[in-house]
Chain A
């Protein structure tokens, strides 16, 4: 089997998930596809980053979240990736969020430390269990609970604050 066939199989198995999650977080197809290309090119050129420490899907969930968080927090993108695009896909799990919740969550993700922001995304947007989040973030369930409690604290302290 040629290498590019292996790559193509993996692309078909995993790229749709990367794209869907990136679109949920960034709100636009073009931005989401850039994430897909960035990640797959990165893995293609530097497979050692995978290290085999988790299954490929959880590795890509983590990598996608990191890449999207970087974009969301990037000053140049912040204005473009406004709340009103955030979680704009009505067909996603996140559609259970009200627009107000989505906007608040977007603010939280921008303001919170990286690990808390990741945990918030996995839980509130992806609908993952504490156990699943622990697997993706390579930490304990207890730590996940702590991170989500801190995210809840932030919401409690900032709810109603002006954007």
Chain B
């Protein structure tokens, strides 16, 4: 019984650290340290997955209480914190991707490519992001990202409520491919920030600008109509009760 209070030396990650990571409270060096440990410790990877699943389940079940806004006091608490969030979020997600790459979690499902843009996204609207793995290096993708054949892309989405989702691509020669989920039917995704999709793609050799279209709808949908519209019109208009997010990548030949 007394061993309960003997200091441990395992170096495993505490729930507090995982919670702070999820809340974007850690700095880059702290995240690197956690990422390194995750790459070596199956117990902590399992615990991480469990905590993420528990958080998703909670948010699906319990929406935020409808407290009345406008007390005038609340912003005093989060304003500094909010600045911290915006500064750290990029690092957090990027290094999370490194953990993914380091632990060989990438699942190759589609023979192809990657990218991101987001200059006018409104806060609260669902959106798409991605990581790009080039050799052993993993970076957070940005709109207009330069990529190369053979690069791997892993996508993540952020949404404030559960939605049905699909991801289509229109490549440099007009070919339209369903990147996710790849079944012809949308996939329900629970509310989450920067939630990694459970598959990745490897870019093919078709060069040029490729556009990625993320479709989020309240209800399940078939992807074929969107695929045809994208092939014919080059753009997608969001139907009623749906939202569309679009990012681009530019595939260039490998430098000699």
Contacts and interface: CB of A to CB of B under 8 A. Distances in A.
Given A7-B67, A45-B73, A48-B73, A156 B23 contact: no
Interface residues of A, number: 63
Interface centre among B74, B77, B82 (most CB of A within 10 A): B77
Interface string A99-133: 01100110000000000000010011011111010
B19 interface: yes
B67 A13 contact: no
B135 interface: no
A139 interface: no
B164 interface: no
Contact of A148 (B5, B123, B160): B5
Contact of A7 (B50, B69, B123): B69
Interface in A149-163: 149, 151-152, 155-156, 159
A45 B68 CA distance: 10
Interface stretch (B52-60, B213-221, B225-233, B240-248): B52-60
A152 B16 contact: no
B15 A127 contact: yes
A93 B51 CA distance: 10
Contact of B1 (A10, A15, A101): A101
Contacts, number: 154
Given A120-B5, A127-B15, A156-B2, A14 B23 contact: yes
A128 B140 CA distance: 31
A125 to B, nearest CB: 9
Given A16-B59, A45-B71, A11 B64 contact: yes
Contact count band on B: 35 or more
Contacts of A61: 16, 19
B68 to A, nearest CB: 8
Contacts of B17: 132
B120 interface: no
Nearest to B73: A47
B107 to A, nearest CB: 24
Contact of A36 (B47, B51, B62, B85): B62
Contact of A2 (B22, B50, B69, B191): B69
B1 A41 contact: no
Contact of A57 (B5, B23, B85): B23
Contacts of B111: none
Nearest to B20: A57
Interface centre among B8, B16, B22, B69 (most CB of A within 10 A): B16
Contacts of A152: 2, 4-6
B239 interface: no
The 6 closest A-B pairs by CB, nearest first: A16-B55, A4-B69, A47-B77, A11-B64, A152-B5, A13-B23
Interface of B: 1-2, 4-8, 12, 14-17, 19-20, 22-25, 47, 50-51, 54-55, 58-59, 62, 64-65, 67, 69-71, 73-78, 80-82, 85, 123-124, 160, 191, 193
Given A36-B62, A128-B16, 17 more contacts: A2-B69, A3-B69, A3-B70, A6-B78, A13-B23, A13-B85, A48-B73, A52-B77, A56-B81, A57-B16, A61-B16, A93-B47, A120-B4, A123-B5, A130-B7, A148-B5, A149-B5
